[in-house]
C-alpha cells in the first residue's frame, strides 16, 4: 500500500501543482555551511549597506513554497534594505519532503545536533562568522510547517536566538509522526501544559534567558487551528514564568494583540489573533512591504513589520487611524473561535471528531496547500 506521503505527491502532480516556482529571487545561494545532515539548501540576502555587527533573521517558508516565494510575499528583504540586517532562508528539498514542508514532526530532524535542526544551526553559525554579524541579535520566524520548525529551533537552540515569531504554526514536541501531526493540526490530542513546557526545557541544557516570542494566527484557520497558537503561548509562558492572563490587550487594525510582560515590565511574548483570516502570513497590500499571494494574505496588517518592531530591528509601526477599525472587526478578533487552551493537568480531553483515511488525506492536502 502506498504511503500517505506518496498519495499526496501523486495528487500534487495530477493537479499540476508540483512545478517549481517561477518567482524571481532576490536571494543568493550559500553552498558551504557544514555537514548539513538535513540536506537542506541555504539562501541569503545582504542589503547593499550592512552595518558592522548587524542582526540576522532566519526565515522558514511554508509547505509548497520556496525561499524566494516567501521572501517576495513577506517582504523581509525589502525591510532588510531599510533597516540594515542580514537574512538567512533555509529551503526544504523534495527529496526530504515531496511537498517542501520542513519535517517539524520527525524525531531525527527536530533533536539538537541532528537532522534539519542541525543544518539550520550550521547555517546560522556560518552566517555569523562569514559576515561578522551580531550573535546576540539572531532571530527566527516561519509560516505553518516553517513556523513549527521555528519552534523547533527556539527549543533546541535557545541560546542562539534572541527572539522568534511563529505564524500559523504548532508547539514544539507535540507530534512524532504524520498521523499525530495531522491530529495536532486539527487541535486533537495536544499535550497538556506541563508536558509542553517540559518538552522545551528537556530539548537542551539551556537554563535561560529564553528567547522572546511573537505568535500569529488567523481566527478562521482551518488547516492549523488556533488551538495550536494557544498551545504555543502556554508552552512559552511557562518557560518564561509568566502569568496565564496577558499584561495588556489592544486592538490593532481590527485585530487583537495580547502582550505578556515580565516583572520588570519588559514584553516577553506577544500574540496576534487576525480577525477572519485563514491559513497564511498576514500582509498589508498598501504598505509597500511584501505582496499578497498564495498563503500570503492581505489582512491590512504586515506581520513582517510588526515582528521586526517587536524585535527592535525597525521602528514602531505607526498606529492605524481609528476610522479603519470597526466594532465588528474588533469583536471578531477578540479571541479565536477555537479557544484551544492546553488542558490543565488532570483534565480530560474532549472526544476527538471521527476521522478516516479520506479525512486524513484531505487534511494533508490542505496542509500542503493543495486544497482550500
The residues that are catalytic are 144
Contact 365, 259 (CB under 8 A): no
Which residues in 52-66 are b (16+ Cβ under 10 Å) and which e?
eebbbbbbbbbbbbb
Which grid coordinates belong to 237? Answer: 509562558
Q: Spell out where 92-201 has E strands.
A: 138-143, 163-167
Dihedral angle sign, alpha carbons of residues 274, 276, 278, 280: negative
**How does DSSP classify residue 33?**
S
Query: Cα angle vertex 54, ends 52, 56, to 5°?
Result: 155
Closest-CA residue to 43 (of 21, 20, 64, 27)? 27
Which grid coordinates belong to 231? Answer: 498551545
What's the rounded Cα separation, in Å, for the pair 175 and 197?
Answer: 14
Amino acid at each position: 500500500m502506498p504511503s500517505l506521503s506518496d498519495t499526496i505527491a501523486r495528487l500534487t502532480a495530477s493537479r499540476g501543482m508540483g512545478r517549481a516556482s517561477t518567482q524571481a529571487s532576490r536571494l543568493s545561494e550559500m553552498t558551504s555551511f557544514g555537514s548539513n545532515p538535513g540536506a537542506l539548501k541555504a539562501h541569503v540576502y545582504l542589503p547593499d549597506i550592512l552595518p558592522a555587527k548587524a542582526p540576522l533573521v532566519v526565515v522558514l517558508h511554508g509547505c509548497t513554497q520556496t525561499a524566494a516565494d516567501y521572501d517576495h510575499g513577506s517582504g523581509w528583504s525589502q525591510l532588510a534594505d531599510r533597516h540594515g540586517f542580514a537574512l538567512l532562508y533555509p529551503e526544504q528539498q523534495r527529496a526530504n519532503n515531496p511537498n517542501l514542508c520542513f519535517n517539524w514532526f520527525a524525531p531525527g530532524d527536530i533533536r539538537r545536533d541532528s537532522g534539519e535542526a542541525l543544518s539550520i544551526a550550521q547555517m546560522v553559525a556560518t552566517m555569523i562568522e562569514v559576515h561578522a554579524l551580531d550573535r546576540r541579535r539572531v532571530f527566527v520566524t516561519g509560516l505553518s510547517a516553517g513556523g513549527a520548525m521555528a519552534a523547533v529551533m527556539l527549543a533546541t537552540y535557545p541560546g542562539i536566538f534572541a527572539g522568534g515569531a511563529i505564524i500559523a504554526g504548532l508547539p514544539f514536541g507535540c507530534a512524532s509522526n504524520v498521523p499525530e501531526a495531522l491530529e495536532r493540526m486539527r487541535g486533537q490530542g495536544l499535550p497538556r501544559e506541563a508536558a509542553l513546557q517540559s518538552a522545551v526545557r528537556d530539548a537542551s541544557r539551556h537554563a535561560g534567558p529564553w528567547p522572546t516570542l511573537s505568535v500569529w494566527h488567523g481566527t478562521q484557520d482551518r488547516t492549523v487551528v488556533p488551538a495550536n497558537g494557544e498551545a504555543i503561548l502556554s508552552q512559552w509562558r511557562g518557560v518564561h514564568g509568566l502569568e496565564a492572563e496577558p499584561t495588556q490587550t489592544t486592538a490593532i487594525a481590527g485585530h487583537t494583540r495580547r502582550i505578556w510582560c515580565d516583572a520588570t515590565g519588559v514584553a516577553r511574548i506577544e500574540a496576534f489573533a487576525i480577525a477572519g483570516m485563514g491559513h497564511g502570513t498576514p500582509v498589508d497590500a498598501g504598505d509597500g512591504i511584501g505582496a499578497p499571494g498564495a498563503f500570503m494574505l492581505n489582512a491590512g496588517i504586515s506581520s513582517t513589520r510588526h515582528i521586526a518592531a517587536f524585535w527592535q530591528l525597525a521602528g514602531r509601526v505607526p498606529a492605524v487611524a481609528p476610522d479603519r477599525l470597526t466594532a465588528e472587526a474588533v469583536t471578531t478578533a477578540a479571541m479565536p473561535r477555537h479557544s484551544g487552551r492546553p488542558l490543565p493537568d488532570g483534565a480530560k480531553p474532549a472526544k476527538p471528531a471521527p476521522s478516516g483515511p479520506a479525512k486524513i488525506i484531505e487534511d494533508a492536502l490542505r496542509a500542503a496547500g493543495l486544497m482550500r
